[in-house]
Amino acid sequence: MTRSAFAEFLVRRRAELRPADLGLPAGGRRRTPGLRREEVAVRAGVSVDYLARLEQGRDSNPSIAVVEALATALLLDERERSTFGWLALTSSHAARCPKEPEAHEQVPETMEAILRALTPTAAFVLGRRANVLGWNAAWADFAAPLGLLDDRENVNLAHYVYAHPMARRVLRNWSETADALAETLRRAALRWPGDTGLRETIDALHRIPDFAARWRPQGAHHDIATTLRFDHPELGTVDVPFESLESDRQQSLVVWLVDRAPASGQSLRLVPRQAVGE
């Protein structure tokens, strides 16, 4: 992305506010939605030129006082202020932040044992980039007909939802799921700002218009859906609640509660493929 997350925050938040939010008259016809740059600059006590430089990423060193003044001018609540300050720190002072250690991409033996023990419950291990690092046979049996395992060397939930041709057909709540994955990656970017692999994944997804439209750098935390609603090619209509648990390796164990999901069509009991015909 050409601008930092801090600069994106400024631009988007200014566009979201209206003059009435600040008790100002509309002031006639406006070329673009939201507040004028001059209106925000006056409220924050900074020059219009300086605000322009911040929004365009040409100035990357705002003081704490400026960040606080902008937060007040932009009517941020307490949680948004916290995120705004974090964005200013990580975007403007990246050189002062310790280099992010590489993400763990290998599933430890203990986690593999847990995956096997969970069978016949469908489960997998998720990395920082929404990449699936490992899975058990039950999840493979459910996921393969959906196209999720077409490329077993590079399984990524975000790429699947936004780019796979089957995703929109099989996910009845595609929009909700797409929002949830964008939010998951946004939170990951805030948590691990120095992870180059994560940044590359997000940059690649930004080339997909649907993802770019759902990327919300302004810092509001949105609830993440905990149910996937499928039109499964083999099992029919299936609503799958799921739970996740993060390990100390910053990987998440995700369980799809397929056996508890109501469905129309065939039974949801997943029989391992090797058992068919025995």
CATH number at residue 246: 3.30.450.180
Compute CA distances 96 → 5, 100, 180, 194, 254, whole Å: 17, 12, 31, 11, 34
Question: How many structural domains comprise the chain?
Answer: 2
150 plus 188 within the same structural domain: yes
Nearest partner of 155 among 188, 107, 222, 192, judged by Cα: 107
Question: Which CATH number is 52's domain given?
Answer: 1.10.260.40
Residue 188 has a pLDDT of 84
pLDDT < 50 regions, the chain: 1-2, 94-98, 218-220, 264-278
Q: Express each pLDDT in 173-196 by its tens digit.
A: 999 999 999 988 988 877 777 788
Residue 223 has a pLDDT of 57
134 plus 268 within the same structural domain: yes
Residue 18 has a pLDDT of 86
**Contact indicator for 67, 88 with CB cutoff of 8 Å:** yes
Domain boundary among 96, 121, 136: 96
Residue 100 has a pLDDT of 54
Q: Express each pLDDT in 214-243 by its tens digit.
A: 886 544 455 566 899 999 999 999 999 999
| 101 inside domain | no
Range of the domain at 42: 5-96
126 plus 261 within the same structural domain: yes
| 104 inside domain | no
Residue 99 has a pLDDT of 52
87 plus 136 within the same structural domain: no
84 plus 168 within the same structural domain: no
Compute CA distances 157 → 29, 127, 149, 250, 262, whole Å: 43, 10, 10, 17, 23
Question: Which is it for the CA torsion 116, 120, 121, 126, positive or negative?
Answer: positive
122-126, strands of its sheet edge to edge: 132-135, 122-126, 252-256, 236-246, 227-232
How far apart are the C-alpha atoms of 187 and 203, rounded to whole Å? 15
Q: If you ran DSSP here, which 8-state letter would residue 208 be given?
A: S
The model's pTM: 0.67
Residue 34 has a pLDDT of 85
Q: What angle do CA 175, 180, 183 make, to 5 degrees?
A: 125
Residue 103 has a pLDDT of 67
How far apart are the C-alpha atoms of 119 and 19, rounded to whole Å? 57
Q: If you ran DSSP here, which 8-state letter would residue 156 be given?
A: B
